[in-house]
Amino acid sequence: MTILVITWQTVTSKSRVNGQENQIYIGFEVSDVEHSRAYIDQLYSNDNQKCFQAVSELKFAVIGSVREKGSIIEQGIVVRLLQILQSQDMDILLKTEVVTVLNSLAKGLPEHASSLVQAGLLPVLWEQLETCVGAGGTNIYIQMILCCLRSVYRQGCAPPPPAWDHKLLSTLIQHGYHPPSNQECVANILAHSCKTCEQQQQLVEAGGAELIACMLCSPVTRVQLPALHCLAAMCYNNERVSSIVSTKSYGGKAVPDLLVGLMARDRPRELQLAAATSLTFLHRAGALSADDPKIIFKTLQCLVRMCRRDRDVWERVEAANTLAYLTEVSTELQRTAAMTDHLILTMNDYLKDPVCGTNVTQPVCVSPISSRQYDNPSTWPELMLEAALRVYASLGANDEDIRQKVIKTEGLMNTMVTALSAASPPVQLAAVRCLHSLSRSVHTLRTTFQDHVVWRPLMTVLKTSSSEELVKVASSTLCNLLLEFSPAKEQILDQGAVEFLCGLTRRPHPGLRLNAVWALMNMAFQAEHRVKASILHHLGTDQIFRLLSDNDVHILMKTLGLLRNLLSTKAHIDHIMQCHGKEIMQAVILILEGEHPAEVKEQALCILANIADGDMAKSAIMSNEDVLKKLMNYMVIPNVKLQIAATFCISNLIWNVEDGSAERQNKLREMGVYKILQNLMATTDTGLFDKVKTALQQFH
């Protein structure tokens, strides 16, 4: 029985009316499905010739047809193709044709490549590649295997090569020294699969750095470009690998010098950008310093140039994001960038009408480490906005003059406030980063931020976002907005900031706990009693103990700073110690007896000094001889800062104008404190000498 299928087909006649070509009618054709699918049955034949013919027909059926690729995969034919590859009875020409079909399937939709991976394609290909070495594999067969691997990895759905063992990597690298078609494939495979620190190290140990140096000198652009992307993937955020790569050379030129050559203006623009990205990663990983001419005069200048209005959208976005990363931590690079080619105004173009007057072609090749997609024109303004905000955030990170230039950018504040409420988390994150950078300016906190009420959308982000990274940066910004001189402090308090931040201290992410305690510390500085009471109520002494037991020393220091700020002003000290004195003293003793750095113990002694400044709170120390003996020990310990802090505490305890000072002096004199103070008068440290002299003057 023959199955007939009727399909519609448009038939165009050459007739013209008034010089215009017209379609005359729409007809249909009848196709014999059994005939067109007959070759599939032949795939399962053990006859090499019949199977070869079937695979050839299959190849022509899937080339250029996304629908046909999906149909073939759905029918489970991939399993048979893999069987052919693994069969020792099938000749190399047939296997080459099979890999060509698989490569075509992998070039379809990402889900097509994912299905191939799930069917077990990768282990088979790697096995075939290793088998071909010295075992009669033809160059064309090896080339097609590499092409198929490249197609799968470029789709982003494949895990790294199995085990990433030295033998497999060495085999792959060996093929990378062969013709340009092989080199391109190998570079792409490595670039898209090298993602972890361990993989970066393994790749370098297998000879990847030497291979990339060789590829950079290739006369073929399609080899150089993926090689640059592979180099970037190897060096990203890896100090050890970057230091090794920077010393490699080819043809008498070190890799950094080869990269500078690829940034020359006569090179294709995608090469310039990729080379600048690689040098940026080498710098950020510590292999090249900020004042190295290759960075400050070549890389930075190239990236700024690529941000110009006449460049493609993808170039401008990638260049701006890379520039933001390059300048993020270096004040020198920030100052140089801000003065280069009107960069601040160029970024303003990104905000106003980012696509107008700009080429909007698709990228020739985007770095594999980039998660950005440029296939949807409606997202281009959003990508441009994100990139500009990131550049502004980096430029204003450390220099007040640059911050003021950025903050005066036309429309920036309105754009940033709007971006804080954007539906896109990357845009929100870029806006918060920019806000955080600008919030380091006292002048901006008191003026511009107050005028634009930036705290309101920031609090919304903090309370609604599920992104830990976004909440971390937003909470860092909140720390600055809660400084004593910030006009927004009271308004933020009214929005339930205390309860929110106390809850944030219980989050598992250490960065969130640190920012929360830091913000509470700023909030408590010279605060009213109601604010301090609210902090203690919502935080609780149990949580304070947990924070003081945190493994992160920064969290520990900020928690002690919080306690110190809570215990300020005599009336506040007495009231807090009356309610929580036992727990607070336990916390301080916990620190003084623990194995902590000197700066941590200094903070604990300063808390005791604050307690000693209270009227009623002094008794918490005076009634505890163990604490008094600890103070005496720290007065003689060979650390000046600890001696000063302990002596200051003693001075507060015996201050002679306060009630009960005579009794406290007599007790401490009997314990030997007066004698210790006399001995300390021989110190050569002026700070300690002044504190000792003041304390001795209090004794009657």
Residue 18, pLDDT > 70, answer no
Top-confidence residue, 600 or 36? 600
- In the predicted model, is pLDDT for residue 144 greater than 90? yes
pLDDT value of position 254: 97
Which whole number is the average pLDDT over 356-365?
A: 56
Residue 648 has pLDDT above 50, yes or no: yes
pTM over 0.85: yes
Could you report the per-residue pLDDT of 304-349, keeping only the tens digit for each?
999 998 898 899 999 999 999 999 999 999 999 999 999 999 999 9
Q: Is residue 665 predicted with pLDDT exceeding 70?
A: yes
Structure confidence at residue 354 as a pLDDT band (50, 70, 90): low
The answer to whether residue 163 scores a pLDDT higher than 60 is no
CATH classification code of 42-153: 1.25.10.10
Residue 24 has pLDDT above 50, yes or no: no
Q: How confident is the model at residue 8 (pLDDT cuts 50, 70, 90)?
A: very low
Query: What separation in angstroms does the CA of 543 have from each of 130, 512, 525, 582?
Result: 58, 15, 20, 15
Task: Indicate the range of 177-181, 235-239, 338-342, 462-466 predicted with least confidence.
Answer: 177-181
pLDDT at 130 over 80: yes
* Same fold across 160-288 and 567-700: yes
Average pLDDT across the chain, whole number = 89
Would the pLDDT of 473 be above 70? yes
Per-residue pLDDT tens for 210-236? 999 999 999 999 999 999 999 999 999
Q: State percent of the chain over pLDDT 70.
A: 90
DSSP string, 274-324: HHHHHHHHHHHTTSS-TT-HIIIIIIHHHHHHHTSTTSBHHHHHHHHHHHH
In angstroms, what CA-CA distances link 390 with 139, 329, 556? 47, 13, 31
The CATH number of domain 567-700 is 1.25.10.10: yes
Please report, for the chain, the start and end positions of each structural domain, with discontinuous segments joined by +.
Answer: 1-36, 42-153, 160-288, 567-700
Rounded Cα distance, 570 and 56, in Å: 91
Q: Look at residue 99 and tell me whether its pLDDT is greater than 80.
A: yes
Residue 657 has pLDDT above 50, yes or no: yes
394 vs 294: CA distance, rounded Å: 20
- What is the average per-residue pLDDT within 50-68? 92
Of the pLDDT bands very low, low, confident and very high (cuts 50, 70, 90), residue 700 is: confident
Arithmetic mean of pLDDT, 46-66? 91
- Band the pLDDT of 356: cuts 50, 70, 90: low
Question: What's the CA gap between 697 and 36, in Å, rounded?
Answer: 107
> Does 19 score more than 80 pLDDT?
no
What would the pLDDT profile of 258-275 be if each residue is shown by its tens digit?
A: 999 999 999 999 999 999
d(CA 617, CA 571): 10
pLDDT at 374 over 80: no
CB 357 within 8 A of CB 398: no
3-state secondary structure of 672: coil
pLDDT at site 5 = 38
Overall fold of domain 160-288: Leucine-rich Repeat Variant (1.25.10)
Task: Quickly count: other Cβ atoms within 10 Å of residue 442's Cβ.
Answer: 13
pLDDT-wise least confident of 125-129, 354-358, 503-507: 354-358
Residues 538, 400: Cα–Cα separation, whole Å:
36
Secondary structure (DSSP) of 539-590: H-HHHHHHHHT-S-HHHHHHHHHHHHHHS-SHHHHHHHHHHHHHHHHHHHHH
Per-residue model confidence (pLDDT) at position 355: 62
CA 522, CA 681: separation in Å to the nearest integer?
A: 36
pLDDT in tens, 393-419: 999 999 999 999 999 999 999 999 999
Q: pLDDT, tens digit, for every residue of 486-511?
A: 899 999 999 999 999 999 999 999 99
Rounded (10°) angle between helices 269-284 and 255-262: 140
The reported pLDDT for the residue numbered 9 is 41
Mean pLDDT value of segment 572-581: 95
